Amino acid sequence: MSMFKSMNISASALTAQRLRMDVTSSNMANVDSTRGRFVNGEWEPYKRKIVETAPMENSFQSFLQKASGSSNEIGNGVRVTRIKEDDAPFRIVFDPSHPDANEEGYVQLPNVDPLKEMVDLMSATRSYEANVTVFNASKGIMMKTLELGK
């Protein structure tokens, strides 16, 4: 195992969690955006975005070592696989004075729930903080190891 393996794993998680926070803040900023994109001549409300992550793939050598039982590999980190749109239905609100209201006076609003977004933001923030702690602990261990060599 490389000396920097734990730092690389933490760094990949930091990157993924930062992206989660960015996407969540984008969702919150567009919570009332009735004109997210133009589809088939009509404006469609903003759709909530979700970040999907997965473990980083291992190399062929690590798979071979696992199959032979000689591996103590714990993982390679995390990567973002995609940012997908949530398929939940849009919120429908009666507001005949809204410029995007239909003939009956109803407006389609984004499928963004501020409560869900805040929970997701708190989760991403806590994960980010935990990975910073792990990164700093790894750095501290390496610094102590260097001091032993003096």
Q: Can you list the pairs that 54-61 forms with residues at least 24 positions away whose Cβ atoms lie under 8 Å?
A: 54/78, 54/79, 54/81, 55/79, 56/12
* Confidence band for 1, pLDDT divided at 50, 70 and 90: low
Q: Which DSSP letter does residue 48 get?
A: -
Q: Can you list the pairs that 94-102 forms with residues at least 24 positions away whose Cβ atoms lie under 8 Å?
A: 98/34, 100/34, 100/35, 100/43
Provide the residue ranges of all domains of the chain, joining segments of one domain with +.
Answer: 5-31+49-85+112-148
* Confidence band for 124, pLDDT divided at 50, 70 and 90: very high
Q: What is the pLDDT of residues 125-134, one digit of tens each?
A: 999 999 999 9
User: Residue 20: what pLDDT?
Assistant: 96
Q: What is the pLDDT of residues 3-47, one digit of tens each?
A: 788 888 999 999 999 999 999 999 999 999 988 888 888 889 999
Q: What tokens were used for 60?
A: 């062929």
User: Residue 65: what pLDDT?
Assistant: 67
Gyration radius from the chain CA atoms: 23
Q: Exposed e or buried b for every residue in 66-92, given b needs 16+ CB within 10 A?
A: eeeeeeeeeebbbeeeeeeeeeeebee
Q: What is the pLDDT of residues 70-108, one digit of tens each?
A: 556 667 889 999 999 999 999 999 999 999 899 999 999
Q: Do the beta carbons of residue 112 and residue 27 sit within 8 Å?
A: yes
User: Residue 61: what pLDDT?
Assistant: 65
Rounded to an integer, the average pLDDT of 122-149 is 92
Whole-model pTM: value is 0.82
